[in-house]
Structure 1
Amino acid sequence: MFPFPGSSYQGPAPQYAELRRCPQSVVKVPTAGGVDTWLVTRYEDVREAFADPRISRAAACGEAAPRVGGSMHTTPEMIISMDSVEHSRLRKLVAGAFTVRRVEQMRPRIKAVVDELLDEMAEKGPTVDLVQQLALPLPLTVIGELLGVPRQDLQTFERWARAFATVDDRAGGAASLEGLAKLSEYIVGLVADKRAKPTDDMLSELIAARDDNDRLSEQELVTFGFTLIGAGFDTTANQLANSVLALVSDHRDQWDLLVEQPERIPVAVEELLRHVNLFATDTTGFPRVAIEDLELGGAKISAGDAVVIALASANRDDAVFEEPDRLDVTRGHNPHISFGHGIHHCLGKSLGRLEMQLALEGLVQRFPDLRLAVPASELPWHIGEINHTLTSLPVTWGS
């Protein structure tokens, strides 16, 4: 039954390795939603599936779409729910803000945020919760400033955005729906404020696109706002917290190497993105539906079939990665697919990389003996439908 048990931040469930070794790695499996889905597990097949326009995100949002289980709610107005022309129309409006060049221009400001948070950490120490002290406030502050969310609103906004992103099917998705409603209500008010008094931020630019050129509907404008904020901080926050845990607890030799050679951190970030399993169901969190008959990895997929792309499995494919289950912060060849592929590849990947790099640089330089303050077995996790989320990461340093 999919999702498979046994997935953790340390890696995907063991069934994926078994499936990758099968003659036909794209297999149909029963799911918690009561329907069968095609499960794509090998690296090359995953890349092909991401790039194939016949495997549709938009079709998965339709009323008659097969449900594979879970309660992740997306709407047709979300960019992550769109295909082809509609997706490109929205993506072009914000793509310029996330280019490598534009993101690099943000380096001094992001470093200043990191330094401020680490200064506070040093003052509060020698024991702090790294989730609350760094992993959450860093990306939230950055994406909030990018979109023009007033700083005094960020703490409240974080609670709603995390509720929206941290889906838990056991609760029927009620918290996610409440977070979605609160985010939408807030963005409606923020849009009204910025329409009256535009500022130099992305949301004001989106409003101008709506009002001057009518390229965004009002609903698209509001939905785009909270989608970017939710996606812009929760994933980075989880990735940073889980990566620090992996380094200081499971792979201490790799942490010590970065302390001695911090110049390796950009390469280390790529390896952490590959190795640390962020997704609770080992997918991108969003199923797809075939809109035409097609063949993938030797499987004949029919129009209307559900398709789940196992991204974490692809990142452990030994046909691509040497010793894929080993964390190696010096790994050279590392074409990981953690940011996806095709039209839905992560728009904010350069920003996420930079935040990870600067946060790790600050930690290894200022807290070289950083370690867990509690046994790893006592760390509190929220395992929802999308991410492995540490709700707290107590760390300490010094004698």
Structure 2
Amino acid sequence: MSAPQETDVYPFPGSTYRGPAARYARLRAEQPVVKVRTAGGVDAWLVTRYEDVRELSADNRLSRAQACGDGAPRVGGTMHTTPEMIISLDSPEHSRLRKLVAGAFTMRRVERMRDDVQKVCDELLDDMLAKGGPIDLVQQLTVPLPLTVIGELLGVPPQDLRDFEKWARAFATVDDRAGGEESLNGLAKLSEYIVGLIADKRENPTDDMLSELIAARDNDDRLSEQELVTFGFTLIGAGFDTTANQLANSVLALLADHHDQWQWLVEDRSRIPVAVEELLRHVNLFATDTSGFPRIAAEDIEVGGVVIPKGDAVLLALASANRDGDVFTNPDQLDLARTHNPHISFGHGVHYCLGKHLGRMEMEIALDGLLRRFPDLRLAVAEDDLPWHDGEINHTLTSLQVTWG
């Protein structure tokens, strides 16, 4: 299919934390690579089957760099990212930057952080128990846990973290009608803050990743100043927002729709690591059913029997891929004991998520703490009364009122 239809306007309505829009199942079966109109933007190719999404995620003929910066096509339903950000780069520039920080996010390094993450979580849960229910789990646990951990890793003063949360969430806003003004304002605030923080750490370096990056910039000339600034806010923003949302949405899914599986985990918490992988697959993080980062075909690419012409925009539907029945048995069912689970919630290829091990560990520790100390946790309000942040790239609960006892 070469010409988009008016009925194909993306993002499709109907995406929720429970799963992608219903239309994706039909597209996987009938038109797995289809051209769609995007809201307020240019036409784009939407790829929906697991194998095609995975293949294209690792195809260097699809360029993130060409989708960013001056003159790039404005694809509706996607995030504005600046050309210097690591998520905006192709190799070899992407590989150069990734190597500077990859060592801090290896499984071995992350495991060494486990005791510290556990301590942060225990303190938050102690406070939750002392306050008593009902309580907002978003403000009590799902945001402050990953926000505190990434702040300590990068050396952001604790008193600044909440401002950073506000700006990072503004940056993650999709607003096709306003030309991305809210996102750009959030980006400006983040940049301004990081510039000041870098100046402070140049005067008084500490044992944290941002100080290490400053040394790489000043001593080894491996970073430009702009790359240093964008690295700072990219790592902090990515390091807490996705984990916070995935954790909150996963708890909601268990309490609202799968309380039997919550009790199954209460009975044996050793099941949690496998359960986390299934929650990552089944609970839909992506508000537009893609990661929100378009790519541009640098040359003609054939996939799924369709030729995507050079210069066209491409969207990879990760949420749809995670529901592909050719890969996952009973794909629309939450099965916390699922063993064959090659989900691609963290992406694939050169942009495979740096923080995947840290995000997994934070979810495991948080769920273990809740199941151990609040086995009778339940929603304190009707699910329909829960507020969601409209317009962010992710499905974002602004409050999750829970109680127990």
Same fold? TM cut 0.5: yes
State the Cα distance separating 1:345 from its structure 2 match: 0.4
Judging changes above 3 Å, is the alpha-carbon distance between structure 1 residues 168 and 255 closer, same or farther for their aligned structure 2 residues? farther
Structure 1 residue 84 corresponds to structure 2 residue 114: no
The size of the alignment, in residue pairs, is 397
1:40-119 equivalences under 5 Å are 40-70=47-77, 72-119=79-126
State the Cα distance separating 1:125 from its structure 2 match: 1.2
State the Cα distance separating 1:389 from its structure 2 match: 0.5
Q: Which residue of 2 aligns with 1:249?
A: 256
Structure 1 residue 185 corresponds to structure 2 residue 185: no
Q: Which residue of 2 aligns with 1:12?
A: 20
The separation in 1 between residues aligned to 2:78 and 2:190, in whole angstroms, is 18
| Secondary structure class of the residue paired with 1:319 | coil
Structure 1 residue 370 corresponds to structure 2 residue 377: yes
Q: Could you tell me which of 240, 250, 254 is aligned with 1:233?
A: 240
Q: Which one-letter code corresponds to 2:22 in the other structure? A: P
Q: Could you tell me which of 328, 346, 353 is aligned with 2:353?
A: 346
Identical positions, percent: 77
State the Cα distance separating 1:62 from its structure 2 match: 3.9
Q: Which one-letter code corresponds to 2:18 in the other structure? A: Q
The separation in 2 between residues aligned to 1:35 and 1:210, in whole angstroms, is 38
Deviations 1:189-216 (A, max 9, x none): 1111111111110000100100111110
State the Cα distance separating 1:35 from its structure 2 match: 2.5
Unmatched 5+ stretches in structure 2: 1-8
State the Cα distance separating 1:233 from its structure 2 match: 0.4
Structure 1 residue 267 corresponds to structure 2 residue 274: yes
The separation in 2 between residues aligned to 1:71 and 1:178, in whole angstroms, is 16
RMSD in angstroms over aligned alpha carbons? 1.2
The separation in 1 between residues aligned to 2:186 and 2:39, in whole angstroms, is 24
The separation in 2 between residues aligned to 1:135 and 1:34, in whole angstroms, is 33
| Secondary structure class of the residue paired with 1:21 | helix
State the Cα distance separating 1:171 from its structure 2 match: 5.3
The separation in 1 between residues aligned to 2:166 and 2:42, in whole angstroms, is 33
| Secondary structure class of the residue paired with 1:7 | coil
Q: Which one-letter code corresponds to 1:395 in the other structure? A: V
Moved more, 165-174 or 295-304: 165-174
Q: Could you tell me which of 288, 298, 302 is aligned with 1:291?
A: 298
Q: Could you tell me which of 308, 313, 329 is aligned with 2:336?
A: 329
Q: Could you tell me which of 1, 4, 10 is aligned with 1:2?
A: 10
State the Cα distance separating 1:173 from its structure 2 match: 3.0
The separation in 2 between residues aligned to 1:369 and 1:42, in whole angstroms, is 38
State the Cα distance separating 1:378 from its structure 2 match: 0.6
Moved more, 295-304 or 354-363: 295-304
The separation in 2 between residues aligned to 1:34 and 1:141, in whole angstroms, is 36
- 2:84–2:226 contact (8 Å) kept in structure 1: yes
State the Cα distance separating 1:357 from its structure 2 match: 0.2
Q: Which residue of 1 aligns with 2:307?
A: 300
Q: Which residue of 2 aligns with 1:201?
A: 208
Q: Which one-letter code corresponds to 1:3 in the other structure? A: P
- 2:11–2:77 contact (8 Å) kept in structure 1: no
The separation in 2 between residues aligned to 1:245 and 1:197, in whole angstroms, is 42
- 1:65–1:304 contact (8 Å) kept in structure 2: no
- 1:168–1:383 contact (8 Å) kept in structure 2: no
Moved more, 27-36 or 133-142: 27-36
| Secondary structure class of the residue paired with 1:213 | coil
Q: Which residue of 2 aligns with 1:35?
A: 42
| Secondary structure class of the residue paired with 2:185 | helix
State the Cα distance separating 1:114 from its structure 2 match: 0.3
Q: Which residue of 1 aligns with 2:3?
A: none
